[in-house]
Amino acid sequence: MPPRARSKPVDELLPVRLVVGDEGLLVERAVSAAIVAARRQDPDVEVRTLKANEITAGVLAELVSPSLFAESRVVVLEAAQDANAEVTTVLVEYAKAPTDGVALVVVHPGGAKGKALVDGLKKAGAGVSEAAKFKPWENDRRADFVRTEIRQAGGGITGEALNLLMEAVGADLRELAAAASQLVSDSGGQVDADSVRRFHRGRADVTGFAVAEKAVSGDRAGALEALRYALDTGVPHVLVADALADAVRTIARVSAAGRGDPGALASRLRMPPFKVKKAMGQARGWDAPGLTRAMALVADVNADVKGVAADASYALERATSELAELAGQSRRR
């Protein structure tokens, strides 16, 4: 996990806290942690939740000013990107000299809109909680997240079980968190591969590209399995067919271009370098007659999924299977 120097521990009660990010679960947690911290100091704390576009500078100033009887208050300002210029000024000014007994939580989804507010609050010394969505490729961060979840629920998880769980549940943090706490309570602490398998089956987030990759490398069983998962989770037929075609044509083009530096080849073929590199590896399993057949096959299935075949799923399954078969044949020749 990358170091997050600016993140203050969530438990601490801060006069001004800025929650930046669009991952709903993390935002909710940061906000409720702030409220819990305030309640710990004063159980009768008043909590006010408002949307930034619904308030004026005057209302805001009133909310954050000290109350007559020194009652404490938590003000949660949501959708801070919609704050107008006046509200932004009041917020930034307030952050420089916050009132005792008032905890202000500003929720901003990140991005360019309303960036002045974010920058202003940071500069004024507000505590920042990051709640950005994890990028699709940040699997390590997701794994860390799950491990932390499980530890906080009072359990542990083996590496194998962790991989299985992430494969089955997918990338959604909310679902991962729910699954993690459920698994800990079901297994009574230590989560292993068997207990994951008992409750989670199958795979989420299988794309057409995963199917195509397996098919062109000759892994028939794997490709068919991935295809079923992809179709079950609602990947459109056309996307799978396009991915199959794209995989085959990339191999055909790369092997036609001959050997050479992948970078130069990539710019000549107008493809990203990683794709060319991968295709160079896959191309070793293919010969010219196999590729000719495969090109015809993917062109046919492209028509099939657009209404020519009576059953698009079957057409895809047959094409995937034949493609894997062709890859295998080419390899044996």
Q: Note the residues at the interface with other proteins (CB under 8 A).
A: 242, 245, 249, 252-253, 255-258, 288-289, 291-292, 295-296, 298-300, 302-303, 306-308
Which residue in 114, 111, 60 sits closest to 84, CA to CA?
A: 114
Smallest distance, other proteins to C-beta of residue 265, A: 10
Which residue in 268, 287, 284, 265 sits closest to 276, CA to CA?
A: 265
If the CB atoms of residues 1 and 264 are measured against other proteins, the closer one turns out to be 264
Which residue in 111, 110, 122, 102 sits closest to 7, CA to CA?
A: 122
C-alpha dihedral sign at 8, 14, 20, 22 = positive
If the CB atoms of residues 150 and 291 are measured against other proteins, the closer one turns out to be 291
If the CB atoms of residues 103 and 265 are measured against other proteins, the closer one turns out to be 265
Residues contacting 253, CB < 8 A, separation 6+: 269, 271, 279
Residues contacting 41, CB < 8 A, separation 6+: 13, 72
Residues contacting 163, CB < 8 A, separation 6+: none
Smallest distance, other proteins to C-beta of residue 87, A: 22
Smallest distance, other proteins to C-beta of residue 261, A: 15
If the CB atoms of residues 85 and 288 are measured against other proteins, the closer one turns out to be 288
If the CB atoms of residues 223 and 245 are measured against other proteins, the closer one turns out to be 245
